[in-house]
Amino acid sequence: MKSSRAWMVVLLTVGASGCQQDSHPACSLSETWQAFAAFHQHCVDEANKTPPKPVEPPWTEQDDALPDTLEGQREEILRKLRERMGVSEEAITKLRDAFGTYRTGQGNPKVTKHPMTRAECRAIRESAETFPASEVCGEKNMVALFNPSKHETEKDATVCIDQFEFPNIACEYPMTWVQAQQAQRICKALGKRLCDAHEWEGACYGELRSPEEEYAFTLDRENMSGLHNFNNKKNGWIRWAYGEQKNHKLCATTSRKSDKCVASEWEYCGSNTFPAGAFPKCVSRFGVYDQHGNAAEHMSLPMKPEQLGSRGGIGRTEMKGSWFIFDFYEAHIDDCRWRAPDWHGSEVMHHNSHANYHLGFRCCKDIAPSPSTQTTKD
């Protein structure tokens, strides 16, 4: 605005001096003000323009390569987060520490066989309709969660979720063999957190409900989840991310166990995941991909209000959404709001929380609602 004020002085000076001359009988200050107003509007328009999206670096042979070591997998993920997602060096250092040196990566490189290449995934997505990120999230590949049935819009959102399984890059293979406590540390390194179960479910269903509606905090784990599933069935709140009719073919549910994989054994069980987002129709109304099929996902199940992620808390482990359950039979209904038994249960931050070859995660992020929305509510 300093430049606008300077131009206003110039325009007023020129206008006033011009109007004092007989050769400009029609000159008036109103013309000068009109010129200033036009210039000022131009400045406002320029300031309000949406900045152009940064150009994505072209994909290279290195991007599409399959590292033959876990360390190579992890370092490639970090490189892509740095170059494609703009992650800072400080965060990269924290992520490297959270990744650790054990099994966390994209699967045992000796036995993992991905059913689709990254390049094949990009070709599919280039010819398909895809969902953009929400500007209110302030992050690449994140969308806002809210409740349309209560006339909310993304301006009312207080939480966002990754569109893809971590590392949250379209057509990148999900990270697997991740413990729940690692997932929380990884999310925290990025200024995010592990999603609460109701946030993940709401992202899938296309309707984020309040914690008071989603948790019976007075009950134990078994009864809380049982009541939740019973109410969903009784009230007809059954749907999948892509619609009200189940259709496994729309999602990455066709992966198969490695030939010698019986239990969750590192030596014999490849992760065998698809690239994230490779099934563009396997998407929720909010624009969240792969919540059915591909990797299963960690989340936090708060057992009391203070364990809600939005309040800075963390609860017990909850996981669902994997191709694994459809290997040869349908293990459960797998709709958006279905909650699992306490499989491999522990506190999320337990040092020995569960990890396996088909288990990954995605992150959520707390945001402030739009100031205009807050003013209206007040």
Q: What residues does each domain of the chain span? A: 66-377
C-alpha to C-alpha distance for 295 and 115, rounded to whole angstroms: 13
234 phi, psi to nearest 5 deg = -60, -40
pTM, two decimals, is 0.84
Pair type for strands 359-361 and 296-301: parallel
CATH of domain 66-377: 3.90.1580
Is there a contact between 37 and 7 (Cβ–Cβ < 8 Å)? no
C-alpha to C-alpha distance for 327 and 331, rounded to whole angstroms: 9
Summarised one tens digit per residue, pLDDT across range 170-209 is 999 999 999 999 999 999 999 999 999 999 999 999 999 9
> Which pLDDT does position 129 carry in this prediction?
95
> 123 vs 46, which has greater pLDDT?
123
> Which pLDDT does position 21 carry in this prediction?
46
Query: Mean pLDDT throughout 329-357?
Result: 87
Instruction: Please report which confidence band the pLDDT of residue 101 belongs to, taking 50, 70 and 90 as the band edges.
Output: confident
Instruction: Please report which confidence band the pLDDT of residue 216 belongs to, taking 50, 70 and 90 as the band edges.
Output: very high
Alpha-helical segments (H) within the chain: 2-19, 29-48, 61-64, 70-85, 89-99, 118-126, 180-189, 197-205, 211-214, 221-234, 371-377
> 147 vs 58, which has greater pLDDT?
147
Six-digit token string for 293: 């099929």
Instruction: Please report which confidence band the pLDDT of residue 324 belongs to, taking 50, 70 and 90 as the band edges.
Output: low
